[in-house]
């Protein structure tokens, strides 16, 4: 965990708004997750990182062998992996929308596994593999009653029609992901039992091995002040025994995003203006906003994430016994731009630094970055005590401008 003092130095040196990602923290957490899943397990359980959570973490996770696979869900994400020279064998190329050119690119790059989310997807994969003379492992995504994946009936149809091995294409198993921030253990254990049963049935019906299962449990991570931070790995610890039981029946890979990445990130933003309205509400305008930061469950700023407030002279703000309520708002011209509706502190002054914590997953890629053509925040990473500017602040107005 990076200290407030260290993050304050980064803000003074590089400015705000900025994201800072602790690469040592994310690699340590990923390795702890792998260790917990495989502790006393006779069958190895793989760990797959969903790069949509934060692509800036890819080089460190790959270099440190902290994950076994990367889930790539779009042509743009594949381009990121190409630019970073990620080994193709690590890539599980997923995504609900794939066309022939996308599948062909993934095959030519050497993607280890490609998911089929529909009957059409499977046919596209077959044709691309045959045309390019490439071998390809395919996992069939089973729908969890949403737009992702396909019905069990469609999966049975594919297996029935492809019992004879097609040139280049091998149906390796199933892919299943039901959602994110899921708190109920029973929902996940019931899923694992269902998936084990379905795999057994499909093996018997098709005569295929169907060894592989990629499973996304959607484990929750705490973000807000009233959440329990005592053991953020507890949801995994509760599930580990059930994962190990499942791994005895298949080659299991567990897919995670926010559960790996959330703790490593910090968003730095400064107070630019303060004011008080006629209804006695205190307002603070920040140089960032919802165009940069988006916690899942934030609900128009009603939930308060973990925040440190640092005075312009570097002092950590001490909150009085009877603090005032402040709304922390961004720089956008919309009433929706509220990061925190009720932040309790004694006072705020222009120049105060706010450090939003546990911002390592999704915020950097999921926020509405193009709205009002504000600049994108700079990105820094920290490894072994040394900070690196990965991307400077960059403009977005040109994207919104079009051809003049």
Q: Residue written as tokens 């009085």?
A: 320
pLDDT of residue 166: 54
Quote the pTM value. Answer: 0.95
pLDDT tens digit string along 240-284?
Answer: 999 999 999 999 999 999 999 999 999 999 999 999 999 989 999
Q: Which of 379, 374, 363 is nearest to 400 (CA)?
A: 374
142 within 8 A of 152, measured Cβ to Cβ: yes
Q: Is the pLDDT of residue 402 over 90?
A: no
Write a three-state SS string for the chain: CCCHHHHHHHHHHHCCCEEEEEHHHHHHHHHHHHHHHHCCCCCCCEEEEEHHHCHHHHHHHHHCCCCCEEEECCHHHHHHHHHCCCCHHHEEECCCCCCHHHHHHHHHHCCCEEEECCHHHHHHHHHHHHHHCCCEEEEEEECCCCCCCECHHHHHHHHHHCCCCCCCEEEEEEEEECCCCCCCHHHHHHHHHHHHHHHHHHHHHHCCCCCEEEEECCCCCCCECCCCCCCCCHHHHHHHHHHHHHHCCCEEEEEECHHHHHHHEEEEEEEEEEEECCCCCEEEEECCCCCCCCCCCCCCCCCCECEEEECCCCCECCCCCCCEEEEEECCCCCCCCEEEEEEEECCCCCCCEEEEECCCCCHHHHCCCCHHHCCECEEEEEECCEEEEEECCECCHHHHHCCC
pLDDT tens digit string along 318-366?
Answer: 777 788 999 999 999 999 999 999 999 989 999 999 999 999 999 888 8
Sorted by where each begins, the domain ranges of the chain are 23-261, 263-401
pLDDT tens digit string along 160-197?
Answer: 998 766 568 999 999 999 899 999 999 999 999 999 99
pLDDT tens digit string along 138-150?
Answer: 999 999 989 999 9
Query: How many residues are present in the chain?
Result: 404
Q: Is the pLDDT of residue 133 over 80?
A: yes
Fold of the domain built from segment(s) 23-261: TIM Barrel (3.20.20)
Whole-number percent of the chain with pLDDT over 90: 85
pLDDT tens digit string along 372-388?
Answer: 899 999 999 999 999 99
Q: Look at domain 263-401 and name its CATH class.
A: mainly beta
pLDDT of residue 298: 73
pLDDT of residue 404: 47
Q: Which of 342, 379, 373 is nearest to 359 (CA)?
A: 379
């Amino acid at each position: 965990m990076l200290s407030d003092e260290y993050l304050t130095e980064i803000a003074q040196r590089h400015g705000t708004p900025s994201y800072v990602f602790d690469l040592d923290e994310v690699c340590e957490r990923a390795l702890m997750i792998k260790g917990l899943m495989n502790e006393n397990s006779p069958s190895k359980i793989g760990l797959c990182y969903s790069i949509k959570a934060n692509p800036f973490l890819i080089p460190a996770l790959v270099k440190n062998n902290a994950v076994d696979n990367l889930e790539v869900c779009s042509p743009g994400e594949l381009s990121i992996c190409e630019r970073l020279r990620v080994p193709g064998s690590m890539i599980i190329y997923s995504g609900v929308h794939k066309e022939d050119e996308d599948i062909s690119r993934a095959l030519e790059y050497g993607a280890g596994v490609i998911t089929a989310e529909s009957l059409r997807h499977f046919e596209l994969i077959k044709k691309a593999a045959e045309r390019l003379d490439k071998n390809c492992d395919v996992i069939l995504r089973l729908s969890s009653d949403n737009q992702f994946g396909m019905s069990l009936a469609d999966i049975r149809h594919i297996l029935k029609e492809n019992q004879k091995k097609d040139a280049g294409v091998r149906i390796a198993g199933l892919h299943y992901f039901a959602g994110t921030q899921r708190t109920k253990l029973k929902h996940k254990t019931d899923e694992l039992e269902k998936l084990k049963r379905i795999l057994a049935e499909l093996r018997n019906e098709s005569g295929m091995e169907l060894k592989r299962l990629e499973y996304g449990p959607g484990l929750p991570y705490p973000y807000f002040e009233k959440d329990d931070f005592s053991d953020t790995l507890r949801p995994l610890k509760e599930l580990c025994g059930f994962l190990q039981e499942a791994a005895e029946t298949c080659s299991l890979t567990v897919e995670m995003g926010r559960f790996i990445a959330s703790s490593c990130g910090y968003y730095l933003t400064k107070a630019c203006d303060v004011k008080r309205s006629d209804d006695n509400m205190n307002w603070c305008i920040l140089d960032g906003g919802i165009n940069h930061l988006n916690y899942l469950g934030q609900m128009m700023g009603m939930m308060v994430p973990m925040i440190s407030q640092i005075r312009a002279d570097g002092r950590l703000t001490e909150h009085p016994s009877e603090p005032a309520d402040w709304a922390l708002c961004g720089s956008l011209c919309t009433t929706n731009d509220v990061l925190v509706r009720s932040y309790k502190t004694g006072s705020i002054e222009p120049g105060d630094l706010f450090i939003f914590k546990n911002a390592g997953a999704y915020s950097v890629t999921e926020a509405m970055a193009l709205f009002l053509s504000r600049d994108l925040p700079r990105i820094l990473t920290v490894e072994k005590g040394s900070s690196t500017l990965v991307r400077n602040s960059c403009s977005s107005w040109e994207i919104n401008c079009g051809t003049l």
